[in-house]
Chains A and B, each alone.
Chain A
Amino acid sequence: MNRLAVELPGLSLKNPIMPASGCFGFGREYAKFYDLSVLGAIMIKATTLEARFGNPTPRVAETPSGMLNAIGLQNPGVDRVINEELPWLAQYDVPIIANVAGSTVEEYVEVARRISKAPNVHALELNISCPNVKKGGIAFGTVPEVAAELTRAVKEVSDVPVYVKLSPNVTNIVAMARAVEQAGADGLTMINTLLGMRIDVKTAKPILANRTGGLSGPAIKPIAIRMIYEVSQAVSIPIIGMGGIESAEDVIEFFYAGASAVAIGTANFIDPYVCPNIIRDLPNVLDELRIDHISQCTGRGWNNGQTVYCGT
C-alpha cells in the first residue's frame, strides 16, 4: 500500500506534495537538484494569453517569518508554455496543474481552453487571487458572483477538472468557496498571498517598486489553517492547501484542517530540496502518529477523528 497516494478530481497522486505556482517556475531550475518524478504534481507558473514582463524591481522584500513578492505574473504566454515548457516537463512522470491567469473573462477562457488540451496537464488552477496586477487577478477573487461567473465560463471550455485558487484578502472566504463550488469548481486551492507592504526606514519609500505585494511563508500559516478549517466544513469539493508549509508536520496540520493535498511555495527558495525531504519524512510522521494512510488525516481537526482509522 502506498500510504501517501491520494485521488483527487483529475489527479492520481503518488503523494500529496507539490510545489506551488510561481515558486517553481516550470521546473527546469529544480530539476538540477532532484528528479521531478518524485513529486506528487507540479503547479506551474501563472500563464496568461500573451507574454508578460511583470513589475519593475525590487520585486521581493523580506518580512518577519515571511516575504513579500510583486512579480506581476511574468510569463512567456500560453503558446510558448504549451510548445516549450509542457513538452519539456513531459519527460517526468508527474501530473501538471496549470495555473491560469488573465485580466478579462475572455482571456481566462482562452488560456484555459488551450492549455487544458496539453497531454500532461491534468487539472487547471484558476488564479483569481493574484494581488500584484492592476487588472484581473484578485478583482475576480473578491466578489462571489464574479468568481462564480468566471468559474462557469472556464468549466465550459476546459478539458480537465478546474480548481479555483482562493484569495485570503476577503472578509468571508466561505462565501467565495461556496460560490465557486456551485459554479462547478472541481476543487479549491488555498491560500494565495495576503496583501502587504513594507517601507524603508531610511528613505521613507516603499521597498517594493510596486509598493504593495503578496505576503507568503510561515507568517501566513495560521491564516491558511483557519481558512481551510472553515471552508472544508462548508464545501464538499477537495482542497489543496498551502501557505507557509516547511515540514512534514506542517503538512499533517493542513490535512487536519481539511486539506486533501498540499502545495509548497516559499520554502523552495530557502531549501531547494524541501519537497523531496517532506516526501521522505511523511511516512515517519505517520508512524509516530500511528496513522496508516495520509488521507485519514483530512479534516481530523474538526471531525473528531470519526473517519480516521488508527492503525495497530
Chain B
Amino acid sequence: MKENMKIIANRQIAKDIYELTLAGSLVQRMRTPGQFVHMKVANSGPLLRRPLSLCDINQEANECTIIYRAEGAGTTLLSQKLPGDTVDVLGPLGNGFSVSALSSGQRALLVGGGIGVPPLYELAKQLVKKGVFVTIVLGFQTKDVVFYEERFASFGETYVATVDGSYGMKGFVTDVIHHHRLSFHVLYACGPKPMLRALANEFPHQDVYLSLEERMGCGIGACFACVCRVPHSETAYKKVCSDGPVFRAGEVVL
C-alpha cells in the first residue's frame, strides 16, 4: 500500500495546474475512479502527506496520472520535481465513484469544479467503456485555469463555464445545466462544497454522487480530522477519507 513511485512526467497544463504521471506497482491496485493517493513529497519540508485524486489509471503501462494545483508548500515543492525523481505514495485510498450505478445505454452527467475536475476523467473513461453516454460540465474561475476540455470532449458533449465569463459560458455549472436542459440517470460531481450543495439541492430526487474535499491527517480513518455529519443525528459521522470521499447526496451534511 506504500511505494516510492517514479515520476515519468510533471508538466504545467494551466496556470498553477500540473499534470503528474507516476509509475509503480501500486497502479495495479488502482481500480475505482474517485479514489485518491496520500503523497509525501519530500523527507524534509512539509510534514504531512497530501491527498491527491487519481485522474487517469493506466494498468497496462503501470502508470497513473494526478492533476494538482501548486498552491501550498507541499504542492509547490511537488511542482519542482523532475522526471526520474520519486515520491512516497500511500494508496489507493477511499471509496470512489460507483460505475456500476449505470448500465450500457444510460446517461451520466459529470460535473467538475476547478481542481475537482481530475477524478471525473477516469470516471468518464470507465463509463464510456461500459457503453454509458456521458455529458460533462466543467466550471472554472477564469480562462487561465481551464484544463482538459479537449480530453473530456473525446468522451462526450463537454461544456465549460467560467465565473468571470472569460471562457465558455459566464456563470456556474448549474447555469450550464439549466441553459442546456441537461438530463441524466446519474449525476457525478467533484468540486467546492458550495457547488456540491447547489447540485444536491437542485436534484433532490435523483441519483447524485458527490466527492468531498476536507483537510486530512492520516488519510486512512484513524485520526478523525476529516469527519462530516450525518443528517438527523447529533453524534453520527462519516469520515471523508475512508467512508468517502464519494458519498450519495443526502448521506452526509454538506
A interface with B by C-beta (< 8 Å): 22-25, 28-30, 32-33, 45, 51-54, 57-63, 65-67, 69, 71, 74, 76, 217-218, 266, 268-273
Contacts and interface: CB of A to CB of B under 8 A. Distances in A.
A32 B29 CA distance: 15
B61 interface: no
A11 B149 CA distance: 61
B222 A23 contact: yes
Interface in B14-57: 40, 46-49
B192 interface: no
A283 B73 CA distance: 36
B224 A66 contact: no
A269 B217 contact: yes
Contacts of B234: 53
A59 B215 contact: yes
B90 interface: yes
A69 B222 CA distance: 13
Contact of B224 (A25, A32, A218, A270): A25
Contacts of A269: 48-49, 217-219, 222-223
B241 to A, nearest CB: 10
B47 A217 contact: yes
A66 B242 contact: no
A201 B204 CA distance: 37
Nearest to A27: B222
A208 to B, nearest CB: 9
Size class of the contact patch on chain B: 20 to 34
Interface stretch (B117-125, B134-142, B225-233): B225-233
Nearest to B46: A62
A29 B47 contact: no
Interface of B is mostly: loop
B208 to A, nearest CB: 22
Contacts of A57: 214-215, 225-228
A65 B227 contact: no
A272 B237 contact: no
Contacts of B221: 25, 28-29
Nearest to A19: B222
- Most chain B Cβ neighbours within 10 Å, of A32, A60, A63, A67: A60
Contact of B220 (A53, A61, A76, A272): A272
Given A23-B218, A53-B235, A269-B49, 6 more contacts: A29-B220, A53-B237, A57-B215, A59-B226, A67-B47, A217-B47
Contacts of A67: 47-48, 217
Contact of A24 (B73, B222, B228): B222
Given A60-B217, A272-B90, A29 B235 contact: no
A65 B44 CA distance: 9
A30 B47 contact: no
Given A52-B235, A74-B237, A268 B47 contact: no
B7 interface: no
A113 B227 CA distance: 30
